[in-house]
Amino acid sequence: MMRMEHLAAALDDLGDAVVGLAGATLGDGRLARAADQELLEVMAAAARLARGAEALLIEATAQVVERSNAAAVSDRLTTRLGCRSVGELVQRVTRVSKRAGADLVTASGAVLQPIAPATGEVLPAGLPGMRAALAAGEVGVHGVLAVAESLRGCSAGRAQILAADEELAAAARGEGVDAAPPVCAEELRALASVWAMYLDQDGAEPRESRALRTRSLTLGTCRDGIVPVRGALLAEVAGQLQRLFDSVLNPKLDAPVFVEDFEGDEPSPVMADVRSRAQKQHDALATILNAAAASGSLPQLGGSAPTLVVSVRAEDLQSGRGFGHVGGVDEPVSLAAVRHIACSGAVQRVVFDERGRIVELGSLERIFTHHQRRAMALRDGGCVIPGCHVPAAWCETHHVVEHSHGGPTHPDNGVLLCWFHHRTLESSGWQIRMRLGIPEVRGPSWWDAHMRWRPATKSPIRMRERMSQRT
């Protein structure tokens, strides 16, 4: 049997060889010249090597967990090494992320062979089939997690859990009943979920009860203009939210394309959206919330529909310097946010005297009516910024000439913009003007070096009309 110091030395030697090979490969770019089959073979061999390394990491983490569970705090391995938890110790030793460290701890619990305190006997692992597949290099951390997380909390008996574990391990090896090739971690998770539902004789109700107890959504304290969101959504709520995200975000552009300028000879590039997926989903949520608040179907608050109230001093709004306040948030917001909210909402002027007494209360200034909005939707077809595909139903109305500067609430002074382009219009470099009631857009120099004003519409009818006029 290999002694521990010899095991560490052997791993160091293997690591040196792998790192040397990786450095040479990345240095001379040989994979760029490799044939397709050779490239795939390298990927498969590297993945097998990674799974073997993950098996050792999981087993080592399991032993760290065992040595950190001592009754006396001073006897725990984590305490002796100055770490607050096993996860922190794993992070420091392996240099992985907090999430990856937590995954190692979770996976280790599923395949650990505990030792009976009284007899010193080595007890079976929770998932012995997955432990064997791990030792054989057939699965790694993600494969073990896929099975462990799916079967966790299942009300089936031990024998049934072991049967499912064995079948799932066979699928990971490519030895399942249907003789399919080895499955990936996501396919293993799907199979494990099916097994969990099959074995849970009480049906979905116990899980439903647990889910209802643990559901949550919490808004944190605003810091630097950001409010953290924490929580756990029920599956159907998450599914509905994802469908709404998809409806707002699709279709999307993945690469620069060129659109024809109907009034010029040169095509204009429409660049791909540079927002991350997380940023897009944030903006989609903002769109969904605005649409819900404007729907009129939500319960009233104080005798009126739920309304986001933003306050700002008139002199700050006029000078463009200062900030505003949004109801429910302690931290001030920028004037850009104030103008964005006011542009698509109603504005009421309230005048205070020097002591704070209300001396004048104006009436609500009108916003675009439903009839005006429908007309603009037919004219614009959606967000007027080129390359943006947010449909008209999800867009906000924008006063091209601000209402505070005398701009009328009329379709000749209004266009449709998605939440993102409306919120960032002042800083993005895009400009909008109206010419005889027709929206025109001038983009930043990276989009159009000539900085020309171009008619903006995504309405199929208007595009056909313009094409027919040109021909």
Q: What is the pLDDT of residue 345?
A: 60
Nearest to 223 by CA among 340, 337, 329, 334: 329
A 10 A CB-CB count for 116 gives 9
| Structure tokens, 103 | 């995954």
pLDDT, tens only, 184-202: 999 999 999 888 888 875 5
- In angstroms, the Cα distances linking 360 to 310, 354, 394 are 18, 13, 36
Residues of the chain with pLDDT under 70: 1-5, 201-208, 250-273, 295-298, 300-308, 317-318, 328-330, 341-354, 356, 358-366, 404, 461-471
Distance (Å, whole) CA 56 – CA 60: 6
Q: What is the pLDDT of residue 65?
A: 93
Q: What is the pLDDT of residue 305?
A: 55
- Per the DSSP assignment, residues forming a β-bridge with 122 are 115
> Which uninterrupted H or E stretch holds 25?
helix 4-28
Distance (Å, whole) CA 35 – CA 122: 48
Query: pTM for the whole thing?
Result: 0.52
Residues 6+ apart with CB under 8 A from 206: 155, 200
**Domain locations in the chain as residue ranges:** 43-115+123-202, 238-293+368-471, 307-365
Q: What is the pLDDT of residue 301?
A: 59
- In angstroms, the Cα distances linking 114 to 62, 124, 139 are 9, 7, 21
